[in-house]
Amino acid sequence: MSQKSEKNMAETNPEHSFIVLANRLPVDRCEDTWQAAPGGLVSALAPMVRAERGAWLGWAGCFDETIVPFEFDQMSLVPVPLTEAEHRAYYEGFSNGVLWPLYHDLIVTPQYHRTWWRAYEAINSRFAQAAVRSAASGATIWVHDYHLQLVPHMIRQLRPDVRIGFFNHIPFPPVELFGQLPWRREVVEGLLGADVIGFQRNSDAENFRSAARKFAVDVDAPSPLIDAFPISVDTAAIREAADSATVVRSAARIRHDLGDPDVLMLGIDRLDYTKGIPHRLRAFDELLADDLLSPKTTNFLQVAVPSREGIAAYQDLRDEVERLVGRINGRFATLGRGIVQYSHHSYSFEDTVALYLAADVLVVSSLRDGMNLVAKEFVTARRNRGGALVLSEFAGAVDELAEAIVVNPHDISELKNGMHQAASLDTAQARERIAAMAVTVEDHDVHRWAQRFLAALQAAAPLGPATEKSATDHHDRAAQKVTSFD
């Protein structure tokens, strides 16, 4: 849809009863047009925003350019502007140089720069003010992820009439780690501005309760509902793609181009130090060296989607992965036949599903992961096709995918044994395991996730001045939940 053909929001009612806040808008810019961005979050929330004639607030992906609010696919999109310097300090700096490593068990060391914190505060305030301007009386506002943790409290201070939900897509760390953050109180109190705070796992929710008990100043304030709402995938879209003749042909072509191996292992991740990519490559190297897998009949396809390439830790990781790939191919490849096929670029949704269909084994060796939706996508695509999933015990998906081969990725021997077991499963057992996991995912798909969260949020009665009843309801709810930090 051309931006020229879209209605300027100035011509419509700027107040909305349902608002989503996320770091990015649900669209990507392609020259003078906007296209729907890929991803499960967009597929889950966009239908709800459309149904409510709501608004989605986020950064448009460009710097130093004024983009007025516009309509796209029956949604009101409200760009929140960022300069390049603000993006560098708020996003690359505080969000991904401080919060991301801190929330992922200090795999790399956070850098606690006060200038980054000030940028984070300022941008969170900008998002909050944009939400307040867009919200109708009594609106529901759903804030997403670690980039915007101060926003709930900021909105609450300005608009006590609205319902506020917050969902954290990444892990929340144990209090002993979180306590390192110089601005721990501000972050905790920022989140406590929400009526419902959602996490991927029960352990994440409990970690936050511990942080709230220790660092929140106003212990007598009404406590929100804090619970686990594990996110999922759009199973219907994945199944439709997997059954497409075009995708099936693409999968066959991938295997053919790799020499039609007996066993094709797949890793598909953002190039991030939390994903354990070097660990799985070292385990694969040992499997070949120990003659547990034959380099003549086995391939490993590693897709590493570019990510945060301006950050030094990610540049170092890319160098390490490329060295390992070169070492394995140098030891075991022959003329005309590589062993590890490495791809450092993005794939479309359909091409990603084709990769799932082409592979026999998916290896998820995350060192720490909120959920890992790739695991859920893989078993959904491969329903009735068999295959095997090697899954880290430190990925949130392990709580639901009981039939996976679960490993500790820090233990290379255990990871290697898990990969060998996956490659050796008989066809009937592999089909049974995949089918069971696919049913689990289908029963709890991304639409059920969104509906469950919003149902909890709608049941919450915010403390607002509108009516005496709303205040009484909120008081009663707070009294019922006073033990939620215990």
Note the pLDDT of residue 471. 34
Note the pLDDT of residue 275. 96
pLDDT, tens only, 383-408: 999 999 999 999 999 999 999 999 99
Q: Span 339-344, mean pLDDT?
A: 94
Counting beta carbons within 10 angstroms of the beta carbon of residue 64, is it exposed (0 to 12), middle (13 to 18) or buried (19 or more)? exposed
Of the candidate ranges 40-44, 93-97, 267-271, the one whose mean pLDDT is the lowest: 40-44
pLDDT-based confidence at 33, cuts 50/70/90?
Answer: confident
Mean pLDDT taken over the chain: 90
Which of the two residues, 308 and 440, has the higher pLDDT score?
440
Q: Is the dihedral of CA 150, 151, 154, 157 positive or negative?
A: negative
Note the pLDDT of residue 7. 44
pLDDT, tens only, 410-424: 999 999 999 999 999
Structure tokens at 305: 């989607």
**DSSP assignment of 274-292:** TS-HHHHHHHHHHHHHTTS
pLDDT-based confidence at 136, cuts 50/70/90?
Answer: very high
pLDDT-based confidence at 460, cuts 50/70/90?
Answer: confident
Structure tokens at 381: 């695509």
Which residues, including other chains, have CB under 8 Å from residue 453's CB and lie 6 or more apart? 142, 165, 167, 196, 198, 229
pLDDT, tens only, 247-297: 999 999 999 999 999 999 999 999 999 999 999 999 999 999 999 999 999
Taking 50 as the threshold, does the pLDDT of residue 474 lie above it?
no
Taking 90 as the threshold, does the pLDDT of residue 463 lie above it?
no
Q: Span 457-483, mean pLDDT?
A: 47
Q: Are 158 and 132 in contact (CB under 8 A)?
A: yes
Q: Are 54 and 16 in contact (CB under 8 A)?
A: yes
Note the pLDDT of residue 28. 86
Counting beta carbons within 10 angstroms of the beta carbon of residue 38, is it exposed (0 to 12), middle (13 to 18) or buried (19 or more)? middle
Residues in the chain: 486
Q: Span 450-470, mean pLDDT?
A: 71
Note the pLDDT of residue 461. 64
Note the pLDDT of residue 6. 42
Taking 60 as the threshold, does the pLDDT of residue 131 lie above it?
yes
Q: Span 29-39, mean pLDDT?
A: 81
Note the pLDDT of residue 219. 61
Q: How far apart are CA 445 and CA 436, in angstroms?
A: 14
Note the pLDDT of residue 202. 97
Strand partners, 76: 55, 71
Q: Span 295-315, mean pLDDT?
A: 89
Q: Are 15 and 52 in contact (CB under 8 A)?
A: no
Taking 90 as the threshold, does the pLDDT of residue 457 lie above it?
yes
Q: How far apart are CA 79 and CA 49, in angstroms?
A: 16
Cβ-count burial 6-26 (b if 16+ within 10 Å, e if not): beebeeeeeebbbbbbbbbbb
